[in-house]
Amino acid sequence: MATAVIVSPHWWETNPGTLLVVPIDHVEHLYVLPDALTGPLLATCRRAARALVEVEHCEGTSLRQHNEPAGNQDVWHLHLHVIPLWTGDALIQGEHRLRPVELADQHTFAAGIREAMCWRDGVSPW
């Protein structure tokens, strides 16, 4: 089962560079995630988080995932947010304002993430 990393079209104002990790096949939410996809999905999250550290020079990362309306799910395809963090940043302190990201900026950021996640000469960057 395959997964993908997508640059989010919205970033937290104080935390630029949010990524979304998604299964390629449709999975509505965590409750119906096939066991066979759990490992690959988390492995992709790990690779995306390491790429964020390399590209954004962040001090940490966070994963977020929401299920059903009461859980604040608003996109009906399972996805995990991989968010860059810095010590004392506003997101951890409860500041949750999103801003739209220009498509050109998404493409530029994606190029850096893609490079950081690529295997070079058959060798994993990690």
- pLDDT, tens only, 64-109: 998 887 777 788 898 999 999 999 887 777 777 889 999 999 999 9
Residue 110 has pLDDT above 90, yes or no: yes
Which pLDDT does position 121 carry in this prediction? 53
**pLDDT of res. 124:** 57
Confidence at residue 10, expressed as pLDDT on a 0 to 100 scale: 92
Report the 3 state secondary structure along the chain. CCEEEEECCEEECCECCCEEEEECCCCCCHHHCCHHHHHHHHHHHHHHHHHHHHHHCCCEEEEECCCCHHHCCCCCCCCEEEEEECCCCCCCCCCCCEEECCHHHHHHHHHHHHHHHCCECCECCC
Q: Tell me what pLDDT residue 72 has.
A: 77
Domains annotated for the chain, with CATH where assigned, are 3-117 (3.30.428.10)
Model confidence pLDDT, tens digit, residues 5-64: 999 999 988 888 999 999 999 999 999 999 999 999 999 999 999 999 999 999 999 999
pTM as predicted: 0.87
